Amino acid sequence: MIEETKMNSTTPEVAAELRARPAFVMVSHVKPDGDTLGAGLALGLALKRLGKRVAYFQQDPVPRNLRFLPDSQHVSRDLPENLPPDTLYVFCDMSDSARAGEFLPPITRENVLDVDHHLGNARFGALNYVLETECSTGTVVMHLLRELGVPIDRDIATCILATIMTDTGGFMHSNTTPEVLTLSAELMHLGANKEQITEEIFANKRLAALKLLGRALNEAQVEHDGRYIWSYVDEAMLAECRADGEDTEEIVNHLRSVEGVEVSALFKAYDGDIRVSLRSSGRVNVQAAASRLGGGGHFRASGLTFVGPLPDAVRAVDEALAAEGL
């Protein structure tokens, strides 16, 4: 890849492009979270206020706990017909475009804007707006909203606050800077409904999810002198607890919270390939470990997809973590 395509676009350049285009598709990643979806909805709502045509593409359905987000009822894996040829596709919160899944039609690079905060983002758009120091893609979007001068109404404020609360783990992770708290307070003044976000995203667990957590904790293995803990979820465990993939979300964070643990891993061995979630307490770079196996993410939270049986996945992840100093 040539060097220019690696560069970031400036805030005014991206805002000018947004003003120039008539229509947009906001694109979220597969297995969506509150950041990818909230960032797209916030920018989509703002662009609608500017009179633009906006659609939301997401391959997977909106998770139950995110259905309260304004405009999420319009999210679909089917794109509207008759989109103009200069429609801009805005990929939110993904380090490469493959994270959008397989259902998008072919899109030429000139119609792609990549908005993200992941380390090692591939800069796959004609315009790339990647701010690695931001806590969420929603706060990256916030810079664009300010540049565009769009009024932040309560719906937009709720979407942005949801991205912050998702990616900071409810203001718990180390990316919760004073600036993040100041912005969050500002969003609450603008009408963001923090209580609703807390209730819907964090306090709304199905009993099945808690049973599955218990089941996964029972299977947990502690290795590397207590610095590493891993577990798995397979089809049988899901069936036994009457749970589904959405109920696995928090398990890896609970594993990480165990005393002395530096890295936790959860192997999701259902739906074909094995999806692995990694979390770090801050010493080991799990983004670097995941990228050794074709995945990515952040220093303290990353993921990858492994093709092969579970024991091979467990061994490969152990080796990647060891190579990163676990």
| Closest residue to ligand AMP in the complex (CB) | 303
Residue whose CB is less far from ligand AMP, 15 or 251: 251
From the list 67-75, 205-213, 289-297, 316-324, the region that binds ligand AMP by CB under 6 A is: 289-297
The region of 136-144, 197-205, 238-246, 299-307 touching ligand AMP under the rule CB under 6 A is 299-307
- Residue 302's binding partner, choosing from Mn ion, ligand AMP, none, with beta-carbon cut-off 5 to 8 A by kind? ligand AMP
The number of C-alpha atoms within 13 Å of 55 and in the hemisphere containing its C-beta is 17
Q: Which does 193 bind (CB under 5 to 8 A by kind): ligand AMP, Mn ion, none?
A: none
Percentages helix, strand, coil for the chain (3-state, rounded to 5) are: 45, 20, 40
Decide if 309 contacts 234 (C-beta within 8 A): no
**Residue 69 lies near ligand AMP (rule: CB under 6 A):** no
301 binds ligand AMP (CB under 6 A): yes
Minimal distance, residue 26 CB to ligand AMP, in Å:
16
Quote the CA–CA distance of 155 and 193 in Å, as a whole number.
9
Cβ neighbours, 10 Å, residue 2: 5
| Cβ within 8 Å of residue 315, ≥6 positions away | none
- The total of other beta-carbon atoms located within 10 Å of residue 67's CB is 12
Dihedral sign (CA 25, 65, 299, 12): positive
In the bound complex, what is the minimum distance in angstroms from residue 302's beta carbon to ligand AMP?
4
Interface with ligand AMP: number of residues (CB under 6 A): 13
Q: Kindly tell me which residue out of 136, 302, 317, 326 binds ligand AMP, with binding defined by CB under 6 A.
A: 302
Whole-angstrom distance, CA of residue 316 vs CA of residue 290: 10
Beta strand pairing call for 301-306 and 296-297: antiparallel
Q: How far is CA 245 from the centre of its chain?
A: 16
Q: Site mask, ligand AMP, residues 45-64, x = CB under 6 A?
A: --------------------
Choosing among Mn ion, ligand AMP, none, which partner's interface includes residue 11 (Cβ < 5 to 8 Å by kind)? none
Q: What angle do CA 35, 41, 46 make, to 5 degrees?
A: 130
Of the candidates 277, 284, 282, 291, the one whose C-alpha atom is nearest the C-alpha of residue 216 is 277
266 bridge partner residues = 231, 277
293 lies in the binding site for ligand AMP (CB under 6 A): no
Using the minimum distance from each CB to ligand AMP, give the nearer residue, 9 or 287: 287
Per-position DSSP letters for 170-238, written without gaps between them:
TTTSTT--HHHHHHHHHHHHTT--HHHHIIIIIS---HHHHHHHHHHHHH-EEEGGGTEEEEEEEHHHH
Q: Which CB, 28 or 87, lies closer to Mn ion?
A: 28
Distance CA 227, CA 223 (A): 7
C-beta of 29: minimal distance to Mn ion in Å? 6
Q: Which does 303 bind (CB under 5 to 8 A by kind): ligand AMP, Mn ion, none?
A: ligand AMP
Residue 32 found at the interface with ligand AMP (CB under 6 A) = no
21, 123, 256, 298: which one binds ligand AMP (CB under 6 A): 298
Q: How far is the CB of 197 from ligand AMP (least distance, A)?
A: 18
40 binds ligand AMP (CB under 6 A): no
Task: Look at residue 277 and give the partner it binds from Mn ion, ligand AMP, none, a contact being a CB closer than 5 to 8 Å depending on partner kind.
Answer: ligand AMP
Q: Of the two residues 8 and 52, which places its CB atom closer to Mn ion in the complex? A: 8
By the rule CB under 6 A, 280 interacts with ligand AMP: no
Q: What is the distance, to the nearest Å, from the Cα of residue 152 to the centroid of all Cα atoms in its chain?
A: 22
Binding region for ligand AMP (CB under 6 A): 31, 95, 118, 277, 295-298, 301-305
